[in-house]
C-alpha cells in the first residue's frame, strides 16, 4: 500500500502554545487529505477535509480558528492546534486519498499540560 | 443518513478458533468498503477494499466478503498477533469525501 508519514508521533506542549502536525504522502500525490481525531476506545472522528491549494472544509463543531489546516502541496498537509488547552489532548490522524483508497499516517498523540 | 455499524464491539477468541466480524452499512451509491486494522496508539493499517457485491479478498488468515448490505471479515485460525481493533469504513458517491467509519471490533486472541 501507499505510505503516509505523520510527524511527530508524540508531542507534549504547555497550555496556550501552538503545535504543528505534518502529514506527507511519500509515494503518491494526494489532492485531498483528511484530518481525524480519535478519543480512547472510540472510532475516528472526521475534523476536516484538506484540498490542495484551497481552504479546508471543517466538520460541524470543529473550530477552524483553533485547528488551522494548510495543504500547500500535493504531498503535504499540516494541522496546527493553536492556543492548545488540556481538552485538546487527543490522538490526531491524517489520511491521504489515492483514487478511491485512503491511507493513514501513524497518528500523533498530543498531550497538553 | 449514511451509517456503518460493526458487531460485535469486542470478541475474544482462543488461538485457532475461527470467527467472523460483521459490518452493516447503509449508503447510497457505495464506491467502496474498506477494512483496516488498528493497533493501540497507531494509525489504521489498510487491509482490503471491496467495490461490489459478491467480491471477496484474502490476505493470510483474513478474508473479506461483501453483499449489498453488509461485509464480513472472516478470521481463520487466528493467532495472538491478530489481536487488534478492526475498522470498517465506506466511501459514498461524492468524490473527495471522507470515509465513514464504524466504531470497530476489538479482537483479542489468546494462546
Tens of pLDDT, residues B34-90: 999 999 999 999 999 999 999 999 999 999 999 999 999 999 999 999 999 999 999
CA B21 to chain centre: 7
Q: State the cell numbers at A25.
A: 504522502
Q: Is B62 on the interface with A (CB under 8 A)?
A: no
* Residue range A17-55, pLDDT digits in tens: 999 999 999 988 988 899 999 988 888 999 999 888 888
Q: Does A60 touch chain B (CB under 8 A)?
A: no
Residue B95 has pLDDT above 80, yes or no: no
Lowest mean pLDDT among A62-71, A93-102, B38-47: A93-102
Cβ atoms of B89 and B3 closer than 8 Å: no
**Confidence band of B21 (pLDDT split at 50, 70, 90):** very high
- Chain A, nearest residue to B39 by Cα: A106
Question: Three-class SS of residue A86?
Answer: helix
A–B: how many Cβ contacts below 8 A? Answer: 57
The C-alpha of B108 sits at a distance from chain A's nearest C-alpha, in angstroms, of 14
Least Cα distance to B33 among B75, B9, B66 occurs for B66
B45 at interface of A, judged by CB pairs closer than 8 A: yes
Give dist(CA B2, CA A66) in Å, integer: 28
pLDDT at A99 (0 to 100):
79
C-alpha cell at position B47: 487491509
Nearest Cα of chain A lies from the Cα of B76 at a distance, in angstroms, of 23
Residue B88 and residue B23 in contact, taking contact as beta carbons nearer than 8 Å: yes
The pLDDT of residue B56 is 97
Q: What pLDDT is recorded for position A91?
A: 96
Partner A contacted by B59 (CB < 8 A): no
Mean pLDDT computed over every residue of chain A: 92
pLDDT for B98: 85
Say whether residue B97 is in contact with chain A using an 8 A CB cutoff. yes
The band of A1, judged by pLDDT with boundaries at 50, 70 and 90, is low
Q: Please check the confidence at residue A107 and state whether its pLDDT lies above 70.
A: yes
The whole-number pLDDT of residue A18 equals 97
Amino acid at each position: 500500500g501507499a505510505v503516509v508519514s505523520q510527524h511527530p508521533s508524540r508531542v507534549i506542549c504547555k497550555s496556550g502554545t501552538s503545535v504543528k502536525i505534518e502529514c506527507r504522502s511519500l509515494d503518491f500525490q494526494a489532492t485531498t487529505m483528511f484530518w481525524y481525531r480519535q478519543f480512547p476506545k472510540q472510532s475516528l472522528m472526521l475534523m476536516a477535509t484538506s484540498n490542495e491549494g484551497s481552504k479546508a472544509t471543517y466538520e460541524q463543531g470543529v473550530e477552524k480558528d483553533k485547528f488551522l489546516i494548510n495543504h500547500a502541496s500535493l504531498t503535504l498537509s499540516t494541522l496546527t492546534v493553536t492556543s492548545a488547552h488540556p481538552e485538546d489532548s487527543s490522538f490526531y490522524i491524517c489520511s491521504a486519498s489515492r483514487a478511491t483508497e485512503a491511507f493513514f499516517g501513524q497518528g500523533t498523540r498530543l498531550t497538553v499540560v | 443518513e449514511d451509517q456503518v455499524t460493526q458487531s460485535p464491539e469486542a470478541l475474544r477468541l482462543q488461538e485457532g478458533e475461527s470467527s467472523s466480524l460483521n459490518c452493516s452499512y447503509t449508503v447510497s451509491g457505495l464506491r467502496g468498503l474498506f477494512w483496516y486494522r488498528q493497533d493501540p496508539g497507531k494509525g489504521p493499517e489498510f487491509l482490503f477494499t471491496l467495490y461490489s457485491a459478491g467480491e471477496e479478498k484474502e490476505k493470510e488468515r483474513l478474508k473479506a466478503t461483501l453483499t449489498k448490505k453488509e461485509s464480513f471479515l472472516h478470521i481463520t485460525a487466528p493467532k495472538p498477533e491478530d489481536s487488534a481493533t478492526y475498522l470498517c469504513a465506506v466511501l459514498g458517491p461524492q468524490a473527495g469525501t471522507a470515509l465513514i467509519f464504524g466504531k470497530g471490533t476489538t479482537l483479542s486472541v489468546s494462546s
